[in-house]
């Protein structure tokens, strides 16, 4: 008797959420991803946004080894397939661990748990750009402040032309094969995934980000997030 091979359904768009940081600057006494925003942990808000975008089939969340149960409980009713993996010592290692859980994904979005109020429209725009053929795309905003370069003593060396600068947000979107190659290549430390792709010499496209996609880093940011999230509940944003 012959048996037919098992069909494995490969998700087209997956999201990786590095959430294994300790949140030292937030100083909340717990990893930042589990800090409460309007009664729910940041990671819940983050995954809700991905699910609400309607374009993400699987979410892989990387947390530290002591928070698997906590993450599972927080994401029990996420409304899509969620996998939880153990993150690494730095952000790129956490992304790499999550990427290993979805080795065949065609499109990969990498989204910081700390940017949990990113509007659905930004998530959709990034996913659609990659599905339409962009290999790497990041949401960006113009820089509002004047930027100075300084030396190690804090003395100003010069003023940078801000017209050519952009603040970069997440989710960052990639063709899956490109992101896998970028994470395998040896590289100097980077703070985002697009940096790894740039190191390969691949062009990264940009599209408009949104102020609500700011990264919650400090207690001030968390206070701002409470106001933004409150406005959403009241239907203002
Ligand atoms: O530290 P920072 O705010 O830049 O971290 C950005 C994101 O990367 C956060 O969502 C954080 O949880 C995640 N991270 C991680 N693993 C680490 C360090 C940070 O997943 N070891």
What digits encode the pLDDT tens for the residues 89-125? 999 999 999 999 999 999 999 999 999 999 999 999 9
- CATH code given to domain 13-236: 3.90.550.10
Residue 127 has pLDDT above 70, yes or no: yes
At 17 the three-state DSSP class reads: strand
Q: Where are the domains of the chain?
A: 13-236
Q: What is the pLDDT of residue 24?
A: 86
Which of 21, 61, 93, 193 is the best mutation target for the ligand 1 pocket, counting ligand atoms within 8 Å of the beta carbon and taking the most?
21
Classify residue 203 as exposed, middle or buried by CB count within 10 Å of its CB (0-12, 13-18, 19+). exposed
Whole-structure pTM value: 0.93
Q: Are 15 and 111 in contact (CB under 8 A)?
A: yes
Rounded to the nearest angstrom, the distance between the alpha carbon of 25 and the centre of ligand 1 is 11
Contacts of residue 117, Cβ cutoff 8 Å, sequence gap at least 6: 45, 49, 212, 213, 214, 225, 228, 229, 232
Q: Which amino acid residue places its CA nearest to atom 3 of ligand 1?
A: 217
CA–CA distance, 58 with 110 (Å, rounded to integer): 12
**Over the stretch 170-226, which tens digit does the pLDDT of each residue have?**
999 999 999 999 999 887 888 999 999 999 999 999 999 999 999 999 999 999 999
Question: Residue of the nearest CA to atom 2 in ligand 1?
Answer: 21
Which atom of ligand 1 lies closest to the CA of 63?
20
Across the range 117-146, mean pLDDT stands at 97
CA distances from 119 to 115, 218, 228 (A): 10, 20, 11
Select from 189, 193, 215 the least CA-distant residue to 202. Answer: 193
Tally of residues, the chain: 237
Task: Write down the pLDDT at residue 237.
Answer: 62
Position 1 confidence tier, pLDDT thresholds 50, 70, 90: low
Please name which of 127, 147, 148 lies closest in space to residue 138, comparing C-alpha atoms: 127
pLDDT number for residue 80: 72
Q: Give the pairing type, strands 36-37 and 40-41.
A: antiparallel
* Ligand 1 pocket test, candidate residues 60, 89, 114, 222, most atoms within 8 A of CB: 114
Quote the CA–CA distance of 2 and 191 in Å, as a whole number: 51
Between the CA of 37 and the centroid of ligand 1 the distance, in Å, is 18
């Amino acid at each position: 008797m012959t048996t037919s091979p098992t069909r494995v359904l490969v998700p087209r768009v997956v999201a990786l959420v590095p959430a294994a940081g300790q949140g030292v600057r937030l100083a909340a006494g717990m990893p930042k991803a589990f800090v409460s925003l309007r009664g729910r942990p940041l990671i819940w808000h983050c995954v809700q946004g991905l699910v609400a975008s309607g374009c993400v089939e699987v979410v892989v969340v990387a947390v530290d080894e002591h928070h698997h149960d906590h993450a599972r409980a927080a994401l029990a009713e996420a409304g899509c397939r969620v996998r939880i993996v153990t993150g690494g010592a730095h952000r790129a290692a956490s992304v790499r661990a999550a990427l290993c859980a979805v080795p065949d994904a065609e499109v990969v979005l990498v989204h910081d748990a700390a940017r949990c109020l990113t509007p659905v429209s930004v998530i959709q725009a990034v996913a659609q750009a990659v599905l339409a053929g962009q290999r790497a795309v990041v949401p960006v905003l113009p820089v509002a402040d004047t930027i100075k370069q300084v030396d190690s003593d804090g003395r100003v060396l010069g003023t940078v032309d801000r017209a050519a600068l952009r603040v970069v947000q997440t989710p960052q979107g990639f063709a899956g094969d490109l992101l896998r190659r970028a994470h395998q290549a040896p590289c100097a430390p980077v703070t985002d995934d697009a940096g790894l792709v740039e190191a390969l010499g691949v062009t990264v496209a940009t599209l408009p980000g949104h102020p609500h996609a700011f990264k919650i880093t400090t207690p001030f940011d968390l206070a701002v997030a409470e106001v933004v999230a409150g406005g959403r509940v009241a239907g203002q944003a």
